[in-house]
A and B are shown apart, each in its own frame.
Chain A
Amino acid sequence: MKTTQTIFQDGDHKWLAIVRDPAKADFLIDTNEYLITHGGQGMLLDPGGLEIFPAVFSAVATEFDPSAISAIFASHQDPDVISSLALWLEFNPQLRCHVSWMWSGFIPHFGGVASTFAPIPDEGMTISLAGLSLQAVPAHYLHSSGNHNLYDRTAKMFFSGDIGAALLPADQQGLFVKDFSTHIRHAEGFHRRWMGSNEAKHQWCSRVSQLDIDMLCPQHGAIYQGEDVQRFINWFDSLQVGVLRA
Chain B
Amino acid sequence: MTDQLPDAIVAGPKGPALDLLHIVQINEEIKSVVAVAFKINIMALNAIFLAKRAGTAALGFGVLSNELRSFSSQLRETMLSLNALIHASVDGVSAMLQDSRYNDILERAVVLASKNKHLQEVIEQRENATDQFRSKLSGLRRALRSSVDDAYRLVELGGVLAKSAKIEAAYGAGFSSSLSQVSGEFDGIVEEIRTSLDTLRKSSFFRG
Which of A's residues lie within 8 Å of B, judged by CB?
A: 1, 26-27, 50-51, 53-55, 57-58, 61-62, 66-67, 86-87, 90-91
Contact = CB atoms under 8 A, between A and B. Distances in A.
29 contacts: A26-B1, A26-B2, A50-B105, A53-B106, A53-B109, A54-B106, A54-B108, A54-B109, A54-B112, A54-B113, A55-B112, A57-B109, A57-B113, A57-B119, A58-B109, A58-B112, A58-B113, A61-B116, A61-B119, A66-B119, A67-B118, A86-B102, A87-B105, A87-B109, A90-B106, A90-B122, A90-B126, A91-B118, A91-B122
Contacts, number: 45
A18 B108 CA distance: 18
B10 interface: no
Chain B binding surface, main DSSP class: helix
Contact of A53 (B2, B105, B126): B105
B35 interface: no
B111 interface: yes
Interface of B: 1-2, 102, 105-106, 108-109, 111-113, 115-116, 118-119, 122, 126
Contacts of B119: 57, 61, 66, 91
B116 A87 contact: no
Contact of A66 (B2, B105, B116): B116
A221 to B, nearest CB: 19
A28 to B, nearest CB: 10
Contact of A87 (B2, B102, B115): B102
Given A54-B111, A90-B122, A91-B119, 7 more contacts: A26-B2, A53-B109, A58-B112, A58-B113, A62-B113, A90-B102, A90-B126
A44 B86 CA distance: 42
- Residue of A27, A51, A67 with most chain B CB atoms under a 10 A cut-off: A67
A3 to B, nearest CB: 12
B113 A61 contact: yes
Nearest to B114: A58
Nearest to B111: A54
Contact of A57 (B1, B102, B112, B115): B112
B6 to A, nearest CB: 9
A186 B113 CA distance: 33
A58 B112 CA distance: 6
A107 B101 CA distance: 19
A66 B1 contact: no
A62 B109 CA distance: 12
A126 B51 CA distance: 84
B13 to A, nearest CB: 19
Contacts of A50: 105
A5 to B, nearest CB: 17
Contacts of A61: 113, 115-116, 119
Contacts of A86: 102
Which 10 pairs, one residue from A and one from B, show the smallest C-beta to C-beta distance?
A58-B112, A58-B113, A54-B109, A54-B108, A61-B113, A57-B109, A67-B118, A61-B116, A26-B1, A27-B1
A94 to B, nearest CB: 13
Contacts of A87: 102, 105-106, 109
A26 B2 CA distance: 9
Contacts of A62: 113
